[in-house]
Amino acid sequence: MKRLAGLETEYGCLAPESFGLPAVPTRVRDYIFKKKKLGLIDLHDRDYDEPAGNGGFLFNGGRLYLDMGTFEYCTPECLSLADCCRLRPGGRSPAAADPHELQLHAGGFLHQEQRRHYTSATFGCHENYLLSREAP
């Protein structure tokens, strides 16, 4: 393959209303970067809607960040589709977070998102390709 490719996977969060929905993704982000130390928090603003500390880079080269209140995991840029598939399970770290350590044992959990229940927008997993300007 003569181009870079990557996969992005979105994760939803279901929790009792008493948790306050934005608090759960924040707990998971802190768990992954501060407690488990699986990567480094990005200390710079990336865009107007992605402030410093919103996420970071994992040690496998991927990126994990909060996107509109839920998680998004991006694989590293890969030179083969096989590498994309091999590195995708690294994004399961949010879903594999221990509910007891996150104090979610009262009924909250993370899942690979298919439909956002409060906006009806659909998400899931998509691929990205770096193409040359000459591509038709």
- Tens digits of per-residue pLDDT, 101-122? 776 656 666 666 655 555 666 6
- The pTM of this model reads 0.73
Q: What are the pLDDT digits (tens) for 9-22?
A: 887 766 666 555 55
Whether pLDDT at 95 is above 60: no
- Half-sphere exposure of residue 134, counting CA atoms within 13 Å on the CB side? 1
**Angle (CA) 11 99 9, round 5°:** 15
Instruction: Give the pLDDT band (50/70/90) at residue 40.
Output: very high
Q: For residue 93, which of 24, 33, 5, 20 has the smallest C-alpha distance?
A: 33
Instruction: Give the pLDDT band (50/70/90) at residue 56.
Output: very high
Q: Which residue has the higher pLDDT, 54 or 71?
A: 54
What is the overall mean pLDDT for the chain?
Answer: 75
Instruction: Give the pLDDT band (50/70/90) at residue 133.
Output: confident
In the block, which residue shows the tokens 């279901």?
Answer: 14
Q: What is the CA 29 to chain-centroid distance, rounded?
A: 9
DSSP annotation of 9 reads E
Residues in the chain: 136
Count Cβ neighbours within 10 Å for each residue of 108-122 and write b for 16 or more, e otherwise.
bebebbeeeeeeeee
CA 99 – CA 66 distance, rounded (Å) = 18
